[in-house]
Chain A
Amino acid sequence: MITYFLVGNQYNLCMKQVIFILVFFVFTAWPSISQINSSEERPPINPIAAPYFESIDMETVDSGNLRILYALNAADINKPDTYDDLQCLEIGAHSSKYYSFFIYQRDSLASDWIKKHPNAKFGEHPSARWAPKGKFQGWSEYHYSEYFKDLSKKELTEYCRMPFRFTDYNSQYSEPLPVQNWKMGADTLTVAGYLCQQATCQFRGREYTIWFATDIPINNGPWKFGGLPGLILKAYDRNKQYVFECVGIENRKEKYPIQMHQAFKQYKKTDRQKLWKAKKNIQENYLELLRNGISGVSMGYGGSRAPTKTYLYNPLELE
């Protein structure tokens, strides 16, 4: 009975395949030949994700009770796999940390596995399993940078992890805690169960609308936002190219440590403008730099099917 079923199925499959291949061949022969030359048609990609930390050595810099999770560019707020990223804001006594939770998960899974399998050879790593969840693939500064705000010194430090093969360019810079010149709106919106008020601002080349909750009297928010009399639970730019929305608030009874990677200390010090230019250069010329510029290692990005370009640099900060 089972054998018959299988054979029957296989037969169907064979027949279908033959027809499909024939049809496919007839209809696609012409355009596929023409496509080999017109490389313009291939979709752009993002730079390749930054490599895992070799070891997750963390230093505790502060401790806190509150942890806020934000979805970045969620297609469906109830489904984490439709987010570009899940990001986390940790609020301590004198500082706060903002980082990608998906990347943190990827890094800790990978290092945990590597610790358990010290003798694993290259290629044995179940890397596919560690791929960060969410719909975004590859590298972007909003996935791989971590932002520490020193609330007493009123200073922000960004630690930027560069994409694959560019880790030598990992950098950090500090700037005075950015101040957004907020204009209060009269509208209200409920986000994550909290009644929020509207405020708008112009910040480094974009116009933002944000929603903050006065019931959470914390002058902080996602990314570089803050300075309002309540926690920012939702923020987006005018074209909604970047949308941050709160999806979780944890208020722990016992304090948890806020930690920083030891590796960050070695990151090269620079300033914001220089790093901005470096990111733009790497983002826009990634494939070219990979092929020619860096250490002469061919990445196997050849052949007719390989992507030929990366997305243009479209950061939150346009200036």
Chain B
Amino acid sequence: MKRLLSLSFSFCFLPLFAFSQTTFTGVIKNKQGELLIVNVMLQAKGNNTIDGFTTSDAEGKYSLTYKGTADTITLTVSGIMAGKHQQTVPNRSRQVNFTIEETTMELKEVTIVADPIRRTGDTLSYTVSAYSDQNDRVIGDALRKMPGIEVASSGQISYNGKNINKFYVEDLDMLQGRYGIAINNISVKDVASVQVLENHQPIKALRDKIFSENAAINLKLKNSAKGILTLSALVGMGYKPRMWDAELVAMYFTGKKQNMSSYKGNNSGKNISSEIQSHYDYERVGINNSNLLSISSPSMPPVAQKRYLYNTTNSITTNQLFKINQDLELTANAFYYNDYIKKEGYSITEQFMPGDSFLRIEEQVKSTSKINNLEIALGLNANTDSYFLNNSLNFKRAWDNDRGSGITRSNAGNLDETMLQYLDKSALSVDNTLNLVKNIKDNTVKIYFSVAYGHQPHSLTITPANYFGNENLTSLKQNVLSKNFASTLRGSYGLKRGNFNMDYDLWGSVDIRNMNTELTGKDTQENTVFSADSLKNDLGYNNYRFGLNQSYSYIGNRKFKATFALPVANYSLTVDDRIPDTFIRHNRWMLNPSLSASYNLTHQLTALAGANFRKTFGNMNDIYTGYIMHSYRNLVRNTIDRLFETRSGGTNASLEYRDAFQSFFLNINGSYGKSWKNLLYGYDYQGIMRVKTTIDQPTKSDNYGLGFTTSKGFRFWKTTLRLSGRYNENRGEQLIQNEILNFCAQTYQTSASVNVSPISLMYLQYDFGWIQSRSLVEKLPGRFPSIRNNSQAIKINLYPFKSVTVNMNVDYRHNSAVSNRNTTFVDAGIKYNHKQMEWELQCNNLLNVKQYVSMSYSDISTYSYSYDLRPASVLLNVRFNIGRDPRY
């Protein structure tokens, strides 16, 4: 009876039970008909809870049972390679088949909370997220905070006190030394880690053969930043004076193809030229590109350029890298830079003359510089373990001119004159360098060929010219045309015997220079007044050299390394001075030995030492015999027809400690150098005109230097502490008013900086710098105390919200030599991020400091100047990411 009851009971409920349990089966395949092994999940529609899941079998089949009561069921099929696909079906047992289009799922990456610095072998890896906060926009902002890495104001990067020798993005060197473009434009959010490659030898075929003391930097990008085109733009406006700012940057990176292109322009004091400056260069023959002529213009104050630079800048750059195949890459870089810079300032120079008299020159100058530069570089590079090939072609053209107008007053001849100066300095240069390295077993063959040509027609015009001592003159014009061709060919053979590497180079080089100069004057009728032979040069200065370089290096068990080089060369110079019609030939032998060694005391501590000796024989500027007016009050010629010779020797030693785990880096270094010159130079004054004098008197000088730099990172408050100190002393002889006097110049300097993030809402940075310099001259009473400069800067960033950054800077400077000793600048800004846009309001120079006044002096002269600064101003910039296109 009981059984019957239960049976009937279960019969009654069976249909209900059966209704509440549904089974879904099916087959999952892709569009091509292939069966897939993927996850299958079952959920009631609109409900997050997973009521059943399984994995399809090798035949693509699945079966899921649902016991719930929902009317509609969502079935989800998912797999990393298959993507996520859903079907919604009524809750009834049935077959649900999936035929899906496979799409690989893009997983968002999670940044690893790992140690900020990791070491594997010779590579240190800095996790970028550990060194950046929301105020940091580009990777350069984070690099500045990484212990061991320093970024100078010029943009030069150094690691533990030594400049880096390569900068890579994803292991490729597209920018060829102009890495300012990368560090000022690549977003900090796109970089996963910064790698420091210690002892980096860029030529793979020379690794383990030629030891490198320098490090390289490689940016490892996040996967999300690779293979997509990133476009960003900036538009800004501001007032006083009316300001604008504009940028458009595009970049694309993969391991095979890279591009960075940008347009940047502004008149708001932002210096863009430093961004395209090259910080390392390949070895190539140098050509003479010195600018003999200049206009007298105000000295630049030692404060941030944005405080004084009155510019109108436009620059366009484009950089391309293609990997033609596994081993061969092509780089192309082009830069166009256009600038119009205005300067205004006032200076007083006092020169003490014999008998307690002095010459006083006051200048009130306004000047403008127009710069138009174009540079194109092409490189072909193959770098494998067995061979290396590099060909680099470089073309440069400059159309630059400087214009100055101002009042010059002097006690010499009661001068009070408005002077106009105009300098035209165009230049053209082109060079090509080929470098080949091939390993044959343990031996290496190298061929190097470099050739260059340069052409520089410069001219300086001064109006009026009566100060020159001729009342009829209205203007003076100095022309200088220099041409230069240079080439070097070198073949090398390197042998490896055990721990010894021997390298022999046989080389020859030619350097052919020509200089035509003429100083002419015009009278009121525009007639050329004079053009005496003493004011002209037609000079041929040809230099032929050949020699044998030998270098021996020992690399023993990675602990001790030493290199000894003993180059022998023959130096032959012909000077064809065509105006006085003299022809002189000089022939000298040179032996310039050098020795360097390093010893790893422990894994972290390395001692290095080196010594060298070299001889040089001056250059064309020490040879010409007709006057050249370098600037309106500088007249130079050489009066002694002897070859200028110098000999110098020096030693240096340093201790380097680096411990990445403790984020501690220390470099202590000292150097001593001695030099000897056969001629002594000095200056005389004729009116306000400075004239070079030379006497046939050998002279010696010594210099000493001692310094240290250290940095330490702490996990506590994400702190980085940096300290450095340096002492330099120079002793030698000076020719002062035809008397040879001993002089000594000493400089002490120290700097410290600390940055901390005590809470995640705040970042603080404090910088301190102190420098004291003094120069002493024998027999002259110490007229002045030493000059002390110190500067302190505080930077505060606040992050009250995730999208808002408030920053404030206070920059204080003190110069003990001027009456108006203290200068303080205050800037403030606010940044707001909204989706793809960033709004930035920047207020500069809130205290409206109008001039920067500074002074420097030695025992025989004083120089003080003031420079007109940019007034208090407001600038509003909007930066937006136009887009990221993954299809590119």
A113 to B226 alpha-carbon distance, docked (Å): 34
A87 CB, min distance to chain B CBs, angstroms: 12
Whether a CB of chain B sits under 8 angstroms from the CB of A34 is no
- Asked whether B110 lies within 8 Å of A253 as measured between CB atoms, the reply is no
- Asked whether B50 lies within 8 Å of A252 as measured between CB atoms, the reply is no
- Asked whether A184 lies within 8 Å of B49 as measured between CB atoms, the reply is yes
A214 to B121 alpha-carbon distance, docked (Å): 38
CB closest residue in chain B, given A116: B558
Q: Contacting B39 at CB < 8 Å: which of A113, A116, A188, A219? A: A219
Kindly list chain B residues whose C-beta atoms are within 8 Å of the C-beta of A229: 39-41, 50, 53, 55, 78
- Asked whether B38 lies within 8 Å of A217 as measured between CB atoms, the reply is yes
A253 to B79 alpha-carbon distance, docked (Å): 17
A166 CB, min distance to chain B CBs, angstroms: 29
Q: Contacting B113 at CB < 8 Å: which of A186, A219, A248, A250? A: A248
CB closest residue in chain A, given B661: A129
B148 CB, min distance to chain A CBs, angstroms: 17
Kindly list chain A residues whose C-beta atoms are within 8 Å of the C-beta of B114: 69, 80, 86, 248
A217 to B39 alpha-carbon distance, docked (Å): 7
Select the residue from B110, B111, B119, B227 with max chain A CB neighbours within 10 A. B110
B346 CB, min distance to chain A CBs, angstroms: 41
Kindly list chain A residues whose C-beta atoms are within 8 Å of the C-beta of B113: 71, 77-80, 247-248
Whether a CB of chain A sits under 8 angstroms from the CB of B80 is yes
Kindly list chain A residues whose C-beta atoms are within 8 Å of the C-beta of B78: 214, 217, 229
A217 to B37 alpha-carbon distance, docked (Å): 12
Kindly list chain A residues whose C-beta atoms are within 8 Å of the C-beta of B84: 215, 217
- Asked whether A197 lies within 8 Å of B110 as measured between CB atoms, the reply is no
Kindly list chain B residues whose C-beta atoms are within 8 Å of the C-beta of A79: 113, 715
A214 to B40 alpha-carbon distance, docked (Å): 11
Given contacts A116-B558, A219-B39, A229-B50, contact A253 B108 (CB under 8 A): no
Whether a CB of chain A sits under 8 angstroms from the CB of B4 is no
Kindly list chain A residues whose C-beta atoms are within 8 Å of the C-beta of B603: 113, 126, 129
Which residues from 94 to 118 on chain B have a C-beta closer than 8 Å to any C-beta of chain A? 105, 107-115, 118
CB closest residue in chain A, given B112: A248
CB closest residue in chain A, given B50: A184
Which residues from 186 to 208 on chain A have a C-beta closer than 8 Å to any C-beta of chain B? 186, 188, 192-194, 197
- Asked whether A247 lies within 8 Å of B112 as measured between CB atoms, the reply is yes
User: Contact string, B219-260, partner A, CB cutoff 8 A, digits 1/0?
Assistant: 000010011000000000000000000000000000000000
Whether a CB of chain A sits under 8 angstroms from the CB of B290 is no
Given contacts A229-B53, A250-B112, contact A119 B602 (CB under 8 A): no
Whether a CB of chain B sits under 8 angstroms from the CB of A133 is yes
A81 to B115 alpha-carbon distance, docked (Å): 8
- Give the interface residue-count category, chain A: 35 or more
Whether a CB of chain A sits under 8 angstroms from the CB of B51 is yes
B470 CB, min distance to chain A CBs, angstroms: 62
A66 to B78 alpha-carbon distance, docked (Å): 16
Given contacts A197-B50, A214-B41, A229-B50, contact A66 B557 (CB under 8 A): no
CB closest residue in chain B, given A77: B113
A300 to B607 alpha-carbon distance, docked (Å): 37
Whether a CB of chain B sits under 8 angstroms from the CB of A45 is no
Whether a CB of chain B sits under 8 angstroms from the CB of A174 is no
Whether a CB of chain A sits under 8 angstroms from the CB of B120 is yes
A119 to B560 alpha-carbon distance, docked (Å): 14
A77 to B113 alpha-carbon distance, docked (Å): 8
A218 to B223 alpha-carbon distance, docked (Å): 20
Kindly list chain B residues whose C-beta atoms are within 8 Å of the C-beta of A86: 114
Given contacts A113-B603, A229-B78, contact A249 B107 (CB under 8 A): yes
Kindly list chain A residues whose C-beta atoms are within 8 Å of the C-beta of B325: none
A105 to B117 alpha-carbon distance, docked (Å): 13
Whether a CB of chain A sits under 8 angstroms from the CB of B154 is no
Kindly list chain A residues whose C-beta atoms are within 8 Å of the C-beta of B41: 214, 229
Q: Contacting B223 at CB < 8 Å: which of A71, A116, A253? A: A253
A71 to B115 alpha-carbon distance, docked (Å): 13
A113 to B604 alpha-carbon distance, docked (Å): 12
A105 to B559 alpha-carbon distance, docked (Å): 23
A229 to B79 alpha-carbon distance, docked (Å): 9
Kindly list chain A residues whose C-beta atoms are within 8 Å of the C-beta of B559: 117
A117 to B557 alpha-carbon distance, docked (Å): 7
Whether a CB of chain B sits under 8 angstroms from the CB of A228 is yes
CB closest residue in chain A, given B659: A129
Whether a CB of chain B sits under 8 angstroms from the CB of A216 is yes
A118 to B557 alpha-carbon distance, docked (Å): 9
Given contacts A217-B78, A217-B84, contact A252 B223 (CB under 8 A): yes
Kindly list chain B residues whose C-beta atoms are within 8 Å of the C-beta of A192: 110
Kindly list chain A residues whose C-beta atoms are within 8 Å of the C-beta of B111: 248
- Asked whether B226 lies within 8 Å of A253 as measured between CB atoms, the reply is yes
Kindly list chain B residues whose C-beta atoms are within 8 Å of the C-beta of A214: 41, 50, 76, 78
Given contacts A216-B107, A217-B79, A249-B110, contact A109 B119 (CB under 8 A): yes
A88 CB, min distance to chain B CBs, angstroms: 10
Whether a CB of chain B sits under 8 angstroms from the CB of A9 is no
Whether a CB of chain B sits under 8 angstroms from the CB of A246 is yes
A132 to B113 alpha-carbon distance, docked (Å): 16
Kindly list chain A residues whose C-beta atoms are within 8 Å of the C-beta of B53: 228-229
Whether a CB of chain B sits under 8 angstroms from the CB of A112 is yes
Kindly list chain B residues whose C-beta atoms are within 8 Å of the C-beta of A35: none
CB closest residue in chain A, given B41: A229
Whether a CB of chain A sits under 8 angstroms from the CB of B819 is no
User: Contact string, B558-597, partner A, CB cutoff 8 A, digits 1/0?
Assistant: 1100000000000000000000000000000000000000
User: Contact string, A221-240, partner B, CB cutoff 8 A, digits 1/0?
Assistant: 00000001110000000000
Whether a CB of chain B sits under 8 angstroms from the CB of A251 is yes
A81 to B112 alpha-carbon distance, docked (Å): 14
Whether a CB of chain B sits under 8 angstroms from the CB of A308 is no
Whether a CB of chain A sits under 8 angstroms from the CB of B6 is no
Q: Contacting B48 at CB < 8 Å: which of A77, A105, A188? A: A188
CB closest residue in chain A, given B81: A217
Kindly list chain A residues whose C-beta atoms are within 8 Å of the C-beta of B39: 217, 219, 229-230
Whether a CB of chain B sits under 8 angstroms from the CB of A108 is yes
Kindly list chain B residues whose C-beta atoms are within 8 Å of the C-beta of A119: 557
A79 to B49 alpha-carbon distance, docked (Å): 33
CB closest residue in chain B, given A124: B602
Q: Contacting B80 at CB < 8 Å: which of A71, A77, A80, A217? A: A217
- Asked whether B226 lies within 8 Å of A219 as measured between CB atoms, the reply is no
Kindly list chain B residues whose C-beta atoms are within 8 Å of the C-beta of A77: 113
Kindly list chain B residues whose C-beta atoms are within 8 Å of the C-beta of A184: 49-51
A119 to B108 alpha-carbon distance, docked (Å): 46
Kindly list chain B residues whose C-beta atoms are within 8 Å of the C-beta of A228: 53
Kindly list chain A residues whose C-beta atoms are within 8 Å of the C-beta of B79: 217
B51 CB, min distance to chain A CBs, angstroms: 7
A216 to B109 alpha-carbon distance, docked (Å): 11
- Asked whether A69 lies within 8 Å of B112 as measured between CB atoms, the reply is yes
- Asked whether A218 lies within 8 Å of B80 as measured between CB atoms, the reply is yes
A108 CB, min distance to chain B CBs, angstroms: 7
CB closest residue in chain B, given A78: B113
Kindly list chain B residues whose C-beta atoms are within 8 Å of the C-beta of A81: 715
A10 to B114 alpha-carbon distance, docked (Å): 40
Which residues from 96 to 144 on chain A have a C-beta closer than 8 Å to any C-beta of chain B? 105, 108-109, 112-113, 116-119, 126, 129, 133
Show 14 A/B contacts (Cβ-Cβ < 8 Å), sorted by A.
Answer: A77-B113, A133-B115, A184-B49, A184-B50, A186-B48, A215-B84, A215-B105, A216-B80, A216-B107, A217-B38, A217-B78, A229-B41, A230-B39, A247-B112
The 9 closest A-B pairs by CB, nearest first: A248-B112, A217-B78, A249-B110, A229-B53, A229-B39, A192-B110, A247-B113, A251-B107, A186-B49
Report which B residues bind A (CB closer than 8 A): 38-41, 48-51, 53, 55, 76, 78-80, 84, 105, 107-115, 118-121, 223, 226-227, 557-559, 602-603, 661, 715
Report which A residues bind B (CB closer than 8 A): 66, 69, 71, 77-81, 86, 105, 108-109, 112-113, 116-119, 126, 129, 133, 184-186, 188, 192-194, 197, 214-219, 228-230, 246-253
- Given A66-B80, A129-B661, 11 more contacts at CB 8 Å? A66-B107, A77-B113, A108-B120, A129-B603, A184-B51, A216-B80, A217-B80, A217-B84, A229-B39, A230-B39, A253-B226
